[in-house]
Amino acid sequence: MSVKVTDVKCFITAPGVCDLLVVKVETNQPGLYGLGCATFTQRGFAVKTAVDEYLRPMMIGRDVAYIEDAWQQMMGSSYWRNGPVLNNAISGVDEALWDIKGKMAGMPVYELLGGKCREGVQIMPHGGGGRTLEEMGDNIEKLLAQGLDWMRVGIPCECPDEIKPKGAPVAYYLNPDQARENYVTVFKYLRERFGYRPNFGIDIHERFTPTEAIRLCKDLEPYKPAFLEDLLAPEDAAWFDNVRAATSIPMAMGELFVNPLEYRDLVAGRKIDYMRAHISMLGGFTPAKKLAAFCEVYSVKTAWHGPHDITPVGMAAQLHLDLASPNCALQEFGDVSDLVREIFPGAPWREGGYAYVNDKPGWGVDFNEELAAKYPAKGYVMTGSMGFLARRPDGTAVRS
C-alpha cells in the first residue's frame, strides 16, 4: 500500500519577535506526518494563502515517495516562478516530505544523504551589540568564553540628524561615509583588543554602491575580516570581478537569493567564498542539497542563513544538510527560548561553538499545535524606524 498525502496544513505562530510558518503534511498512515519550514516573516499571510489555496489541492492524493517530482510540479505549475512567496510555500511542503521520508526509513535525513561528515556544525551567532566600543567588546568577550570564535558583528550606519533634509520622513538613514568610518573604527578596536584569532565577519546588507563597496574593502583590508556578507546587491553581482581584483577579504553572499541565476555565475566563477542562501527562500531542501553539491565542485563553502526568522524545523533541515556536506564551513545559529523549544520539541541545540541535532528519524523535531495557537501571528507592518525601510542622507529610499 502506497503512502498518500491526505492533507496539507499551514500554521503561523509568533512566540517571539517574528511570525514563524510551519507546514504539516498528513498521510493515510496513522501517526505519520511531516513538518517543513515556510517562514517568510515579512509576507507570512501570502505564503499561507499559497499553501492553502494552491499547493494543498495539488498535493492531496499524491504518493509521498516522489519528492523530486512533487517539487518540480510545485515549482513549474505557476508558470512564473522563483519568488520568495511561492518558494517558501514550496519549501514547507518539500521539507515535510523529506521528514516523512526519514520517518519511513527509520533514519535521520542526514543518513539518507550518505551520513555525517562531522558530529557537530560550527556555528556563527550574531555578536557584539553595544552602545559603546567597550560594551561591544565586553559582549564579545562573553561569547568567546563560551567557545565561540566565529561571529557576525553588528555595526551602526545611521547618519547624524543634522544632515537630513528638512521634513525628512521617519526612516533608517544610511550615510555611506559614516558607515565606512564606523566599520573601520570597530574593526581596529576589535583587533587591538582580541588580536587576529577570533573570526569576525560583517553583514554589509548591500548598503553601498559598487565603488563605495570597493573603497570599504580597501579600508578594512589591514584588519582581516573573516568575510564581508552581501557586500553588493544581487543586481550588482557582475561587480564581484572588480571586488576580487581589489581585495583578498573573503566574500559571503546569498541571503537574498531566490533564483538559481543569482548564484550560478558567482559560484562557477569562484567570485564568492561562502554561500549564505536561506534554504526556504530557495524552495526547500531539494534545491538546497543541489546547491551545496554545486558549490562543492567550485570550492565554495556553505554557511546557510539562519537567524531568528526560521523555525527549529527549518534550522534542523539546514543542520542535516550541513552534517552531510563536506563543504559546510559554518551555520548561522541563534539560541531559542524555552517557549520555542516547548512548541518545537526536539529543536536543535548549541554546545560551545557547535550546533547539534538529535538522531530521531526525519528532522527529529515535532510541533505542538495547541501551544502554538496561543501565540497568533502578529503580521509584519513596516515602520519607518526599521532598517528594511532605509534612506540615503538626502531622503532617497534605498534597499537595506
310-342 per-position pLDDT tens digit: 999 999 999 999 999 999 999 999 888 999 999
Domain assignment of residue 65, yes or no: yes
Given 62, 92, 107, the domain boundary residue is 107
* Mean pLDDT for the stretch of residues 165-171: 80
Confidence of residue 157 (pLDDT cuts 50, 70, 90): confident
Out of 146-160, 232-246, 355-369, 374-388, pick the least confident. Answer: 374-388
pLDDT, residue 349, reads 97
Q: What is the pLDDT of residues 239-290, one digit of tens each?
A: 999 999 999 999 999 999 999 999 999 999 999 999 999 999 999 999 999 9
In a domain, 371, yes or no: no
Final residue in a domain of this structure, among 86, 107, 128 = 107
State whether 157 and 86 are in the same domain: no
Domain assignment of residue 21, yes or no: yes
Residue 273 confidence (pLDDT): 98
| Grid coordinates of 375 | 501565540
Q: Residues 33, 172, 223, 274: which is the catalytic one? A: 172
Residue 65 lies in domain: 5-107
- 234 and 171 both lie in a single domain: yes
Let me know if 205 is a catalytic residue.
yes
Is residue 96 domain-resident?
yes
Out of 49, 74, 107, a domain closes at 107
Percent of the chain whose pLDDT exceeds 90: 79
Give domain status of residue 374, yes or no: no
| Structural domains counted in the chain | 2
Residue 368 lies in a domain: no
Q: Are residues 93 and 122 in the same domain?
A: no
pLDDT for res 1: 74
Question: What is the average pLDDT across 331-354?
Answer: 95
Is the per-residue pLDDT at 386 higher than 90? Answer: no
Helix (H, G, I), strand (E, B) or coil at 230: coil
- For 82-132, what is each residue's pLDDT tens digit? 999 999 999 999 999 999 999 999 999 999 999 999 999 999 988 767 788
Residue 304: per-residue pLDDT: 97
Are 75 and 135 contained in the same domain?
no
Which is catalytic among the residues 33, 110, 183, 205?
205
394 shares a domain with 280: yes
Residue 375 is assigned to a structural domain of this protein? no
**Mean model confidence pLDDT for the chain:** 93
Q: Which whole number is the average pLDDT over 65-76?
A: 98
| Residue 308 appears among annotated catalytic residues | no
| Whether residue 129 sits in one domain with residue 260 | yes
**pLDDT above 90 for 25:** yes
Q: Are residues 55 and 173 in the same domain?
A: no
Query: 300 or 388: which carries more pLDDT confidence?
Result: 300
How much helix, strand and coil, in percent to the nearest 5, is found in the chain?
Answer: 40, 15, 40
Whether 377 is covered by a domain: the verdict is no
- 211 and 332 housed in the same domain: yes
Is residue 168 a contact partner of residue 395, using CB atoms and an 8 Å limit?
yes
Q: Is the pLDDT of residue 385 over 70?
A: no
CATH assignment at residue 97:
3.30.390.10
Do 94 and 173 share a structural domain? no
Confidence check: pLDDT of 233 > 80 = yes
Residues 101 and 158 in one domain: no
pLDDT-derived band at 155 (thresholds 50, 70, 90) equals confident
| Same domain, residue pair 189 and 159 | yes
Residue of 159 and 45 predicted with greater confidence: 45
Confidence of residue 387 (pLDDT cuts 50, 70, 90): low
pLDDT tens, residue by residue, 186-204: 999 999 999 998 999 998 9
**Shared domain check, 262 and 332:** yes
Annotate the chain with three-state secondary structure.
CCCEEEEEEEEEECCCCCCEEEEEEEECCCCCEEEEECCCHHHHHHHHHHHHHHHHHHHCCCECCCHHHHHHHHHHCCCCCCCHHHHHHHHHHHHHHHHHHHHHHCCEHHHHCCCCCCCCEEEECEECCCCCHHHHHHHHHHHHHCCCCEEEECCCCECCHHHCCCCCCCCEEECHHHHHHHHHHHHHHHHHHHCCCCEEEEECCCCCCHHHHHHHHHHHHHHCCCEEECCCCHHHHHHHHHHHHHCCCCEEECCCCCCHHHHHHHHHCCCCCEECCCHHHHCCHHHHHHHHHHHHHCCCEECCCCCCCCCHHHHHHHHHHHHHCCCECCEECCCCCHHHHHHCCCCCEEECCEEECCCCCECCCCCCHHHHHCCCCCCCCCCCCCCCCEECCCCCEECC
Residue 393: predicted pLDDT: 82
Residue 327 has a pLDDT of 98
> Average pLDDT of 45-74?
98
Look at residue 384 in the predicted model and tell me its pLDDT: 47
pLDDT for 383: 52
Task: Say which CATH number the domain at 215 has.
Answer: 3.20.20.120
